[in-house]
Each structure stands twice: as C-alpha cells, then as structure tokens.
C-alpha cells in the first residue's frame, strides 16, 4: 500500500515537473526543490541546493550562467510555480516600456504585503493604476520639491542637535543606518502628509508605540502578518504580541489621520477636477469626496493603502540608498573630495542649499546613482503575461523568445545591475558610469509608464541631505588592524539583504571629522 502511494505521489511530482518545464518552453535555468518565492524556499538558507532569499546577492557574479543568458527559467521540483528570470537591461526595457500594449500585470499574490492596507499605486493594475497615478502625479510639483529642500534642511539640523554633534570635532557612528531612515521618514511625512514628526520619536504614554516605531515594525513584518493566524497573537510570545500591537497602532493612526484631513477638506471648497496642486495626502483624501462614478474617486481603504505604500517607498528605498552612498564615499576618498569640491563651488557654507543648486552637483548625483545600482532598493520586479508576448534576447544567441500567456517574468534588479555586459566590473564603485546619462536610461527607478513616481522626490531629498552632510563633515571608515580599504569594502559593503521591505547594505560604521570652511 505504501509503495503504491509513494509511486502515485512520485508520478504526480514528475508529471507536474514536466508540465511546468513545458510552460517555460524548456528554457535552461535552475531546478531547485522549492521556489525561492514560496514559504519553504524562503525559510531554508541559501545553499547549493536551495536558492533561498539571498541567492541573487550571494551568487550575483555567477547567476544566469555567468551572465551568458539574458533569460533563464526556474522550475521547482517539489513546491512552487515556474518563472522566468532576466538580468538584461534590453529585455527589461522591451517589457516595461511597452506595458500599455502588452498589458502586463503585477501578480496579486506577490503584492499581497502592500495590499494588507488597501489598493495602491504600487500594487494596482490597468485602469485602476491609471486612476491612482492620475490622482497622485499632480502633487509632485516645483512647490513640493522646494518643500522637500526646506524640510530636509530642517530635519538635518534637528538631527545634529538631537544626536549631540554640536561643538564636536570628531564623531564615531557605530552604524549610520538609523539616521537616513529617520531622515527619510520625517521628510516624506512632512512634505507628503503634513505630519511634523520630530527627530526624537516620543512615546505619548507608557507602553504606547510611536508612529515611527510602529511603521518600522510593520514594514519588516508584512509576510509574518500574512501567514500568522489570528489566534497566534494571543500566545504569550512578546515578539508576536509586539507585532500585533504595531499593526493595530498604525491602523488606528492612519484611520484617524484620514478622518482628520477629510474633515479639514470638507470645510473647504471641493475641487472636483483636482487637475493640479495640493500635497500628496490632500489629493488622496480629496478623492474620497469625489463622486463615486468619477475616474478620480477613491475609497478609504485605497487612501490608506496609498499612504502606507508611499510612506514605505519614500522612506526605505531612499534611506538604503543614502546608507550605501555614505559608505562608499567614506571608503573612496577621491570621490568624496570631488563631491565636496563640487558642493563648495555651488553651495557656499554661508547659505542653505536651494532647489536650483542640486542640479549643479553631477558627481554627487552620479555617486548616489552608483550606490543605488549596487544596492537597488526595489530588488525585484514581477510581471505576469496576460497574452503571449514576444521579446528579443541576445544571449547566448540572438533569437525571438515567446513568453506564453500566464507566464511570470521576474526582473532581478540586482542581477541586472551586476550584469558585466551592461556594467563592466560591476562590483567596482564607479560613479563615472552615470555621467551625461539620460534619465530615461537609468534603470534603478524602473522604465516605462510605471517608473517610480517619486524619483525626483528621492533625488532632491538625497542631494540636499548629502550636500549638507558632506559640507559639514569629512567621512572616513574605522579600519581593523592591518586592514586595507579594499578589504574593508569587501567585508562591510559585501553584507546586504532585506531592510524592511527594501534591499540595502549594512551596518555601516563612520568616523566623522568636522570640516573647517
């Protein structure tokens, strides 16, 4: 009996495996036991027989058969669905630049962590995405970017005071990561949502969580929230109960925030057109007052969903990029010196940066872009085919490849950015790659109509913060005894992984010396 059951199970596994191979046209690739996008594959550490969560980073120099294949397939033997993976900038452009024609969609199950709060511009597809984009895009204006500059300056000064840096000539920071994360949260909260978050996060009452603390826990626990049953939160496990408290605290805060802003807007004339102007949050909440039949109407869950998505995207991706930029500039003193000279030539120490100054810092911007290339905050893009889609691949041979309806393409941005065919010596920090490169040719923020709506917001915030930081402080690294800068770079910058819902490096230690201007 057992032998019969085992034989039947084996037959089912083999049949399913062969069927899945056929669904990806028998393209070469990986054949693990479990999908790295599934529970079993994710919880097992990365090793020779299981890709796990870290395979794209740890195998970045040998993935895609040493980058000699533009596209490979991944077909799990036991558990998981088959996928295509690509590391080619050209393939990514073909897919993303033509999304409106090919009607690619984001798989719902892969955007589930963001959907816990409601539909949003990151998770939505087709006409729903167009509606969200049409509501949000007009909020990203010259006024918004000018506000980003002034608020970044204000937050930076709050940081200097709160961290006790005033009057200090030298400072040692064991891990710089929390500083950019606090900065990015404060700036997006102030500029996008009118929340005046102070640098020191207060606890209003004993045993209560602050907004910043709850957001940090929520952004790093979405998967756990999806899989834990409701009864698990009643167990006497402090970490699980803390997770539940964070989600409930954030939900209460967001609902109250929406209700308060709606009451404020209801006392003002309603702009049914909403064609331009208004901060991000006001436009979202204002869409709740629009006639439900309108293309610009949003429900409360969608408002909260977008609020969380933008707080997450505006915080974690920018913060991770800043951590990497600071780390590389501390290691590569020549690039730091060039950036400092550029800053001093355009933003003298006697005045604050202005929006128009930031476009005059091409080397600093190139350093920022290079840091994002090496550690892309959004490490994975996924698209499902709603119809057969033809693409042109160049490696290993030039040919037309057909992605069948229902197939899933995973764009591994780490693999794309470390592809030596597009970025020679990809592990080398080389800002000159980005000199005089058109914005549309910079892959880190995506391509096509669904490229990041907050790209310029991030650029302005990062350039303003870095110009202030580098103007005041010379950065260096704490080398171990006998260690070279190259060895330090391999040891410290080689550590990378998920930071909340984004990808980044760390921890990164810095030694700061006050500059005498």
Q: Would you say 452 is a known binding-site residue? A: yes
Calpha distance 188→184 (Å, rounded) = 6
- Cis before 507 (ω within 30): yes
C-alpha to C-alpha distance for 387 and 226, rounded to whole angstroms: 30
Rounded Cα gap, residues 9 and 516, in angstroms: 73
Which positions ≥6 away from 489 have C-beta within 8 Å?
331, 429
Q: What is the rounded distance in angstroms from the CA atom of residue 278 to the CA atom of residue 255?
A: 20
Distance CA 162, CA 440 (A): 39
Do the strands 380-384 and 408-412 form a parallel or antiparallel pair, or are they unpaired? antiparallel
**Helix (H) / strand (E) containing 392:** strand 389-393
Separation of alpha carbons 284 and 299, rounded Å: 9
Which tokens is 269 given? 């004339």
What DSSP state is assigned to residue 444? Answer: G
C-alpha Rg value of the chain to the nearest Å? 24
Which tokens is 454 given? Answer: 């907050």
Question: Would you say 253 and 214 are in contact if contact means Cβ atoms under 8 Å apart?
Answer: yes
CA-to-CA dists, residue 365 to 58, 131, 319, 360, angstroms: 27, 32, 15, 9
DSSP state of 128: H
Dihedral sign, Cα of residue 382, residue 384, residue 389, residue 393: positive
Q: How far apart are the first and last CA of the chain?
A: 84
DSSP string for 32-72: -SB-TTSHHHHHSPPBTTB-TTTHHHHTTTTHHHHHT-SEE
Q: Which two tokens stand for residue 481?
A: 């005894």
Which residues are documented as binding site for heme? 452
- Which residue ranges make up the annotated binding site? 452
């Amino acid at each position: 009996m057992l032998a019969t059951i085992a034989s039947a199970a084996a037959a089912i596994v083999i049949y399913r495996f062969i069927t899945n191979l056929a669904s990806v046209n028998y393209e070469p690739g990986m054949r693990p036991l479990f999908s790295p996008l599934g529970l079993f594959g994710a919880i097992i550490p990365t090793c020779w027989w299981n890709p796990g969560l870290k395979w794209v980073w740890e195998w970045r120099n040998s993935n895609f058969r040493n980058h000699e294949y533009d596209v490979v397939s991944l077909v799990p033997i036991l558990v998981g669905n088959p996928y295509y993976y690509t590391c080619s900038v050209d393939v990514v452009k073909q897919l993303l630049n033509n999304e409106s024609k090919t009607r690619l969609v984001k798989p719902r199950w892969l955007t589930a962590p963001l959907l816990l709060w409601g539909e949003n511009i990151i998770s939505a597809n087709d006409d729903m995405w167009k509606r969200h984009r049409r509501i949000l895009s007009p909020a990203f204006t010259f006024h918004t970017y000018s506000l980003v500059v002034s608020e970044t300056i204000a937050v930076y000064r709050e940081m200097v005071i709160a961290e006790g840096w005033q009057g200090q000539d030298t400072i040692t920071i064991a891990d710089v990561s929390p500083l950019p994360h606090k900065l990015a949260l404060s700036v997006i909260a102030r500029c996008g949502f009118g929340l005046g978050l102070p640098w020191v996060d207060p606890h209003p009452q004993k045993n209560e969580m602050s907004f910043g603390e709850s957001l940090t826990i929520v952004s790093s626990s979405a998967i756990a929230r999806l899989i834990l049953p409701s009864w698990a939160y009643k167990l006497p496990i402090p970490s699980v109960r803390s997770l539940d408290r964070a989600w409930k605290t954030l939900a209460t805060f967001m609902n109250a925030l929406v209700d308060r802003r709606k009451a404020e807007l209801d006392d003002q004339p309603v702009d049914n057109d909403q064609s331009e102007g208004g901060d991000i949050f006001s436009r979202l909440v204002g869409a709740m007052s629009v006639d439900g039949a309108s293309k610009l109407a949003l429900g409360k869950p969608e408002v909260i969903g977008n609020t969380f998505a933008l707080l997450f995207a505006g915080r974690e991706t920018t913060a991770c990029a800043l951590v990497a930029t600071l780390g590389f500039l501390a290691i590569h003193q020549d690039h730091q010196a060039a950036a400092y000279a550029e800053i001093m030539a355009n933003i003298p120490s006697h005045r604050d940066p202005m929006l128009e100054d930031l476009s005059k810092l091409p080397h600093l911007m190139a350093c920022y872009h290079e840091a994002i290339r090496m550690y892309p905050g959004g490490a994975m893009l996924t698209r499902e085919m709603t119809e057969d889609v033809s693409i042109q691949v160049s490696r290993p041979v030039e040919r037309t490849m057909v992605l069948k309806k229902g197939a899933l393409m995973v764009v591994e941005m780490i693999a794309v950015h470390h592809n030596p065919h597009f970025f020679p010596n990809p592990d080398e920090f080389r800002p000159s790659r980005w000199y005089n490169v058109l914005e549309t040719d910079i892959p880190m923020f995506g391509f096509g109509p669904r490229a990041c709506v907050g790209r310029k917001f991030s650029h302005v915030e990062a350039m303003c913060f870095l110009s202030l930081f580098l103007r005041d402080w010379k950065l260096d690294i704490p080398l171990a005894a006998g260690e070279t800068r190259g060895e330090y770079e391999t040891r410290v910058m080689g550590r990378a992984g998920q930071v909340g819902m984004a990808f980044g490096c760390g921890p990164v230690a810095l030694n700061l010396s006050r500059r005498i201007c």
